[in-house]
Amino acid sequence: MPRKYLILPIVLSFFLLIVFSLSKAKPTYSLSTHAVISEVQISGDSADPDNDEFVELYNPTGSDVVMTGWRLTRKNSAGTEANLVASLSGTIPAHGFFLIGHGTGYNGSAALDVPYSAASNALTNNYTVLLYSDAGVTLVDKVGFGSAVDTETTAVTDNPAANGSIERKSSSSGLDESGGNGEDTDNNNVDFLQRVTSDPQNTGSATETPSEPSATPTETLTPTPTLEPTPSETLTPTPTEEPTPTPTEELTPTPTEEATPTPTEQVTPTEEPTPTLEPTPTPSPVPTPSSFVIGVFRFPGRTSVCTLQLLPLRVRFMRIFLPRISCS
């Protein structure tokens, strides 16, 4: 069997191994594993509209979150922090909600689970809301809006409208009214969206199992760029068949026939075959290894190019070519 037909299955085997390993890449998700601030309203339509506000918490996990000595604060655009609830206690049901708000200004349909302990420290534009699991040391979550100075990566671009709110998404694709509010990429502007009319929920509201967030582009990369280069098998045999036989068949007989009769006719002693072996390796380095591209793989932020090199190797009176695949 011609050597070119032996090389092709080896090349395809290595190529399929690369494709298989890439297809096993697991997608990453952005579902939060802790309690989060899920919705914030800073003004409304009550008799005291500037204080018609609330902060809603959501538990995306499958177990109750017991808050003992937690703290809820706000920070203004100058960086000054003040308590909304100095010592927050209560339980957020699994996949459930917990509602905190202004004791006299709030007039939403869902009753408050806990009112502000410092009602004078109300929310307004360009603020940040912060949730701690202790007395202001261990941060659980925070959300900044407008021109807030303390945010997760980037603040929510706009302040909540009157009687509206900013609400955390269910997944990266948006808001699912029954899919909870578990999207958390640590970027406020990405994780939240604006609601024209707020929708406060408390511990008595129906629980909402989190929607499975959309995977990062890892999954879509596997079938799209990886499997489509597979038809480039037409590219692989084209350069393989032409360069491989051309240097192999011409160079192999040339040094063999000249080297064999030279020591036989000129020198009888067996010591002369030693130089005969020296010309034999000389033609081996002459043909440069054939190199050609067998696949291009594109991933987020990088591109890998895989090439095949055929390395010549002489064993006694035979010459074989070993394939070497490298990706950069």
pLDDT at 251: 45
List, in sequence order, every beta strand (DSSP E) within the chain: 36-41, 54-58, 65-75, 81-92, 97-101, 114-115, 128-132, 139-144, 165-168, 192-195, 290-299, 302-315, 318-327
Question: Strand 192-195 vs strand 165-168: parallel, antiparallel, or unpaired?
Answer: antiparallel
Give the contacts of 290 (CB within 8 A, at least 6 positions apart): 239, 240, 243, 244, 309, 310
CATH superfamily of 36-195: Lamin Tail domain (2.60.40.1260)
Question: Sign (positive/negative) of CA torsion 79, 83, 85, 87?
Answer: positive
Give the residue among 76, 89, 59, 67 at the shortest CA–CA distance from 124.
76
pLDDT (tens place) for every residue of the chain, 328 residues total: 555 555 666 667 766 666 555 444 443 446 678 999 999 999 999 889 999 999 999 999 999 999 999 999 999 999 999 999 999 999 999 999 999 999 999 999 999 999 999 889 999 999 999 999 999 999 999 999 999 999 999 999 999 999 999 999 998 888 888 889 999 999 999 999 999 999 999 999 999 998 765 444 444 444 444 444 444 454 455 555 555 554 545 544 444 454 444 444 454 544 554 544 454 444 445 455 667 777 777 777 788 888 887 888 777 778 787 888 888 7
How do the domains of the chain map onto residue ranges?
3-25+220-327, 36-195
Give the residue among 135, 136, 56, 146 at the shortest CA–CA distance from 101.
56
pLDDT at 316: 76
pLDDT at 14: 66
Give the residue among 303, 305, 302 at the shortest CA–CA distance from 325.
305
- Say which amino acid occupies 10: I
User: Is the CB of residue 305 less than 8 Å from the CB of residue 296?
Assistant: yes
Supply the pTM of this predicted model.
0.58
Q: Where are the alpha helices (DSSP H) in the chain?
A: 3-23, 188-191, 218-221, 227, 237-241, 245-251, 253-259, 261-266, 273-277
pLDDT at 27: 39
